[in-house]
Amino acid sequence: MEQGYEKVWSGCLKVIKDNISPNAYNTWFDPIKPVRLKNNVLTLQVPSQFFYEWLEEHYIDLLKKTIKKELGPDGRLEYSIVMDSTYHANQPGPFTVHAPTLNKKALKNPPITIPIDLNKDMGPGKGMPNPFVIPGLKKLNIHTQLIDSYNFENFIQGDCNRLARSAGLAVGQNPGKTSFNPLLVYSGNGLGKTHLVHAIGIEVKNHYPEKTVLYVTAEQFTNQFIDSIRNNNQNDFVHFYQMMDVLIVDDIHCLAGRPKTQDVFFHLFNQLHQNGKQIVITSDMPPVGMSGIEPRLLSRFKWGLSADLQVPDFETRMAILQKKIRNDGVEMPQEVLELISSKIDTNIREMEGALISILAQSSMNKKEITPDLAANVIEKFVKNTPREITIDYIQQTVCKYFDIPLEKLKSKSRKRDTVQVRQLAMYFSKLYTKSSLAVIGNKCGNKDHATVLHACKTVRNLLDTDKSFKKYVDELENIIKIS
């Protein structure tokens, strides 16, 4: 008489638990349920096809030993996989469908049973399509989404970024082993946050090619999570991200006002951090300035190091331009580089764009690059390049227009003139930036999103009823758009 399947699996687990870490055991073996033992074949139910492939890739040798120890040399193993809604009964494949005892929804997508030959080496997921494929990513050959040119060699160091670059290099050379976990890099737009975190990922791959590194934006992460809910495969979504050795999330502040996405990221953060995996994130502000992010998540961001990137000084801007022309294999007079560095001094991205425009103008018109040519191109470039409208810029413009100190706008003052200026700043911030209501409110004196909504509604109502107010708004709008 054969042993009971629960007793056999319990014996297997005792051996498995002694051979792997507690976290790995809880993640990959605790969810497994033994469901049948017949003809010396133990059937294990696993939550998904992805789960099955992971076991086959990482733990097949351990499973072989434990099954044969409990059932003898003729012992065999098969998996019963609970399929998600993407599986159809008429899908071709060597699957044996058996009748499950599940809820009505699950009955439409029955589990499949896959026999495993323990005497034969199987490649990971051989013959099995990956059920959880994030666009651009593959389970076994994950596309890191890193840009090769965004490396440390091309990231010029200056006083503006020394701390962030040094910390990033340390993380890239020893991921998960420094005190910089997580590493949060913050700055305004166009100052090199994305370049730096790509460089960290590339440095990791150079030193540890076997490590799994992934760069995603917070927007991508959110959309993937929403898709997983829609497709009823949240477990696969979580398991996928648990595979990462280094997870890089750009623009983490974009999770503001998205509590469910923050919740899943919170638990994922804990899992990765506890397992010694490296987390790198970027934001347009430090944790203390993030609004709409749950306090428990903000506290995690403060565990490691928050390093800012500041506007580069003239010498650093020159070095950046010199590095770029060397990489592109072109020559340019020193006077021209100095002209670009002096005229465009707040945004590296715009500075490099002006450089490219000068090169293009010279090539198309077959003209030598001279200071006069550069000056004409820069003037047109600056004029035709829309200013990146930020909340800070809007606040400064509105305060200057009404001759009110910025500190007053951000104060708790309830005086009518101050409130109206604050409401206009909120209104234009909502109109011209992609920032969430929570972020706008936070930058306008720690107001909540409801206050921002009320401000926008008040401004729209006054536009329809007060002609003098509309005149102010129209003039301000023109200043904001053309400056």
Three-state DSSP class for 352? helix
In angstroms, what is the C-alpha Rg of the chain?
A: 29
pLDDT of the residue at 119: 53
Exposed/middle/buried for residue 111 (C-beta within 10 Å: 0-12, 13-18, 19+): buried
Domains, the chain, in order of start with CATH, read 5-116 (3.30.300.180), 162-308 (3.40.50.300), 314-384 (1.10.8.60), 391-482 (1.10.1750.10)
- Residue 447: the pLDDT is 86
| Residue 247, pLDDT score | 96
Report how far residue 137's alpha carbon sits from residue 243's, in angstroms, rounded to the nearest whole number: 13
Q: What residues form DSSP beta bridges with 408?
A: none
Residue of 131, 136, 133, 135 whose CA lies nearest to 52: 131
By three-state DSSP, how is residue 239 classified? helix
Determine the pLDDT at residue 249.
96
Residues 6+ apart with CB under 8 A from 447: 426, 441
Say what the pTM is: 0.54
Q: Are 85 and 157 contacting, i.e. CB atoms less than 8 angstroms apart?
A: no
d(CA 358, CA 360) in angstroms, rounded, equals 5
| CB count in 10 Å sphere of residue 246 | 26
Residues of the chain with pLDDT under 50: 1-2, 83-112, 120-140
pLDDT at position 446, please?
Answer: 84
* C-alpha triplet 440, 446, 449: angle, nearest 5°: 50
C-alpha to C-alpha distances, 175 to 10, 276, 297, 399, nearest whole angstrom:
36, 8, 21, 45
Q: Nearest-5° angle of CA 32, CA 35, CA 36?
A: 135
Residue 280 pLDDT: 97
